[in-house]
Structure 1
Amino acid sequence: MKLSLYNLRKGFRYLKNYGLKEFFIRLKEKGEPEQISYAEYAAGHKVTEAQLKIQTKESDKWSYRPLISCVYMGENREDALAMLEQQSYINWNLTCIDKLCTGKEIELSGEYAALIEAGDTIEPDALYELAHAIAFPKETKQSGIHWEEIGKPDLIYTDEDVRCPDESKTTETAEPLLKPDFSPDYLENYCYIRHLCCIRKTVFLQALKENDGNPAIEELICRAAKQSDSIIHIPKVLYHTKAEHAPRVEHASMAVGSHEKKQPLVSI
C-alpha cells in the first residue's frame, strides 16, 4: 500500500469509525503481499547455477552415490541426453525404451530406475534430490506404510506441474500438481504418484514382470507401490509433464467388488 495524503486521510477516517483494534487488523491485511501466479512462484524458486555447482561438488564427496538408471519412454535419445546432461548429479545412465510392456528389453545397471516420458522434462536438480533421498533417507521427508530405519527407500516420488500450450501466445502455461504424502487408499482411487517416480531396481523389475504386458505407467507404479516397504515423497516440483501425460483419476486397480470405488481412509 502506497503512502499518500489520500491514504492517510482514509486511514484516519477508518480509525475514527471502527476503533484502534479494527484499524490494525485492516492495516495488517493491506500489508500482506498480493497473490502471485504459479509462474511467478516457480520462477522465484528455480534452482540457480551456483546452487547446481554446489550440489555437484557435494554429491561427488558422498561415500554412497547411488547409480540411477533413467528410463526414457521414447526413442529420441538426443533429447533425453540433452536434458540429463544438465543435471547437477552425474551418477546416472540412460535407457531408452518404446513402451513398458516387459522387462526383456530393459537393461538396468543402476540400483534405481527413474521414469521419464518422452516430451516431458525434469529440473536440473531432480536427480540430485532423488539421490539424496536414497543416500540420506533419515534427512529426507519420510512417509509410507512401513518405514524401516535400516535400508533404503523402495520408491521416491516428487511433485510436478502440467504444461499446456497457451493458445493466445507462443509460450506455455503451467498448473502445479502438489501431491500428498503416500496413502495406499488414495492410490487405489487416483494414481497421483506418477511423475517423477524413482523405483528400486528389484521392485521395478518385479512390478514390470507382473504387469501382464500392460504398457500403462499408472499400473506399473501402483504395483511397485504395493510391493514397497518404504516410500518417500519429495515435496518439490521437479517434473514438467505434457497435458496428455498428466495423472488420470481412474485406472484398472480401482475396481473393488461390484465395481465400487474405495473411499480414501482418513485417520485423525
Structure 2
Amino acid sequence: MSKKPSAGGKIQWTKMFRKLSPYTIRKGFRYMKHYGPKEFWIRLHERFEPEEVPYGPWYRAYIPTEETLETQRKQKFDYSPLISIAVPAYQTPVEFLRQMIESLIVQTYSNWELCIVNASPDNEEMQKVLAEYSAGDSRVRFCNLKENLGIAENTNRAFAMAKGEFVGLLDHDDLLAPNALYEIVKILQDHPQADALYTDEDKVTTELDEHFQPHLKPDFNLDLLRSNNYICHFFVVRKSIVEKAGGFRKEFDGAQDYDFIFRCTENAGEVLHVSEILYHWRTHKASTADNPASKMYAFEAGKRAIEAHLERTGTKGEVSHTQDLGFYRVKYPVQGKPLVSVIIPNKDEKETLQTCLEMLEKNTGYQNFEIIIVENNSTTDEIFRYYKELSRNRKIHLLRWGK
C-alpha cells in the first residue's frame, strides 16, 4: 500500500508544479493520453524520485584524472589502427561544433582523423570554424556539400572520406570522453580481429554543466537489440564491414543508425562491449519527457529496421510496438513441438499444489510438457499421499531436494 505524502512532500510537489511551464503541462497531458492516468502517475512519480545513487558525484569521482590521461598519452600500443570519426554536420551552433572538435583533439590516443561533412555550406560561421581547425590540425578534415542530402546520405559522404581501418559515429553536437579512443584501442590489443565495438554513454546538458542518465550496457545481446537500439552511441566498426553492409539507408531515416547497426553486426565476427562511459549525448534535460508520439515516423522506421533484419537472417517473427515507443516486441512462432518443463517447488502445500496443477491442465492447450515437482523436505502425511496419487501421471516427475 502506498504511503500518504508527508507535509514536506506535499510542499515539494506543490513547488514543483508551480515551476511547470505551459509547454511542460501540455506535454504532461499528451503523456496522460498516451499512457492513461494510472501509468502516467507512476511515471511522473518515478521521474521526480531522487536517485538512489546520485550520478553527478559518482561521475566526477569516476572520470580519469589528468595524471591518468597523461599516462595514456605516453602509452605505445603494438596495434595502433587509424580510427576515422564520421560526423555529418548541419546548421551546427559554432560553440557546439568547437566543443565536438576539441573533444577529439584532447584524445589520449592520437592516431585518429575527423571526417566532417558540412551540409550547410552557406553558414559562414561554420565555414570559419572548420577552416580554422583543419588548418591547425591535419587530422581534422571536412568537405562541403552543395545542399543538405539528409542524415543518411550526409553520413555516407563522411564514410567515403574515411581512410581509417575503423570508423566511429559521432553526432555534430555531442562529445567523446578524452579517453574514448584509447579504451577502444586498448581492448583491441587482446581482440585484434574484432569487427565492431560499442561503449557505455550518458547525457549531458546543453551547457555541459551536468551529466545525467548513464546508460551502462550489457555485452552484445541480439535479442535485446531486437527490442531496442541499446547500442546507439559510441559505435565503432571496421571500415570493411561498413562497405560490406552498405552504409546508411535513407529509407530508414529516423532510425538509420538502428538499421545500420543491425547490418554491421550481421556481417561482423566479434562484437565487443567497452564497459566505460565514453560518449556524452548532449540534450536538454526536459527533452527526455517530450511527446512520446511526436516522432512516430522514427519508431515506425525502427520497427521496419527489425523486420528487415529478421528477413535477412531468415528468422520468422512478428514485430510490434510496445507502450514505451522505441521499444519493440518480436513474437517468434513456435517451431515444431518442443518439450516444455514446468518446475514447481513444494513443501507441505497440498492444496496449493493441487490448484496449480489443475490450472495448468485447464489453461494449457499445448500438450508436450512435463511437470517437475521439487519436493523440499515436506513433513505431512497428506502431501506424501498426494505425491503417490500424482505418480500415476506420466507427465509428472518428483525430484527430492535433500537437506
Q: Is the pair's TM-score, using the shorter chain for normalization, greater than 0.5?
A: yes
Return the alpha-carbon distance in structure 2 between the equivalents of residues 249 and 156 of structure 1: 24
Amino acid at match of 2:171: E
Aligned length: 212
Q: Residues 73 and 103 (structure 1 numbering): CA distance in 2 closer, same or farther, change over 3 Å?
A: closer
What is the alpha-carbon distance in structure 2 between the residues aligned to residue 49 and residue 193 of structure 1?
A: 28
CA deviations on 1:154-181 (whole Å, 9 max, x unpaired) are 1100000123469xxx943511111111
Specify which of 226, 236, 239 is matched with residue 198 of structure 1. 236
What's the CA shift for 1:223?
A: 1.4
Which residue pairs with 1:254 in the alignment?
306
Secondary structure of 1:194 counterpart: coil
SS across alignment from 2:161: coil
SS at match of 1:100: helix
- Separation of aligned partners in 2, 1:72 and 1:154: 20
Determine which of 83, 89, 114 is the counterpart of 1:68.
83
Query: What CA distance in whole angstroms lies between the structure 2 residues aligned with 1:179 and 1:124?
Result: 20
CA distance in 2, matches of 1:165, 1:37: 20
Q: Do the aligned partners of 1:66 and 1:134 also contact (CA within 8 Å) in 2?
A: no
| CA–CA separation in structure 2 for the residues paired with 1:204 and 1:133 | 20
Structure 2 Cα separation of the partners of residues 52 and 180 of structure 1: 26
Structure 1, residues 231-259: CA drift from partner, whole Å, max 9, x if none?
0001111111134899x877122346554
Provide the C-alpha distance between the structure 2 equivalents of 1:43 and 1:164, rounded to a whole number of angstroms. Answer: 15
Counterpart position of 2:278: 238
The secondary structure found in structure 2 opposite 1:136 is: coil
Matches within 5 A, 1:1-268: 36-58=53-75, 61-74=76-89, 78-97=98-117, 98=119, 99-101=151-153, 103-104=156-157, 106-137=160-191, 152-164=193-205, 171-209=209-247, 211=249, 214-215=252-253, 216-243=256-283, 251=302, 252-255=304-307, 257-260=317-320, 261-262=329-330
Q: Is the 8 A contact 1:95 1:108 kept in 2?
A: yes
> Relative to 1, partners in 2 of residues 1:173 and 1:131: Cα closer, same or farther, differing over 3 Å?
closer
8 Å CA contact 1:72–1:80 kept in 2: the answer is: no
In structure 2, what is the Cα distance between the partners aligned to 1:131 and 1:213? 33
User: Runs in 1 of length 4+ with deviation above 6 angstroms?
Assistant: none
Query: Larger RCO: Structure 1 or Structure 2 (Cα < 8 Å, ≥ 6 residues apart)?
Result: 1
TM-score, normalised by the number of residues in structure 2: 0.47
Encode CA deviations 1:195-235: one digit per residue, 9 max, x unaligned.
Answer: 01100001122323473654522221121112111000011
What percent identity do the matched residue pairs reach?
A: 27
Structure 1 regions of 5+ residues with no counterpart? 1-33, 138-150
Structure richer in helix, relative to its length: 2
Aligned partners of 1:47 and 1:62: how far apart in 2?
19
Task: Determine if contact 1:114/1:196 at 8 Å carries over to the other structure.
Answer: yes
Q: Which moved more, 1:94-103 or 1:171-180?
A: 94-103
1:6 equivalent in structure 2 = none
Q: 1:262 Cα shift?
A: 1.4
Q: Contact 1:71–1:95 at 8 Å: present in 2 too?
A: yes
- Cα distance between partner residues in 2 of 1:263 and 1:161: 31
Q: After TM superposition, give the deviation of residue 78 of structure 1 in Å.
A: 4.1
Q: Which has the larger radius of gyration?
A: 2
Shift in Å, 1:184: 1.1
Q: Distance in 2 between matches of 1:160 and 1:249?
A: 21
Q: Which residue of 2 aligns with 1:18?
A: none
Q: Partners of 2:78 and 2:215 in 1: how far apart?
A: 34
TM-score by length of 1: 0.69
Superposition CA RMSD, Å: 3.0
Q: Which consecutive residues of structure 2, in runs of 5 or more, have no partner in the other structure?
A: 1-50, 120-150, 289-297, 308-315, 321-328, 333-403
Q: Which amino acid aligns with 2:112?
A: W
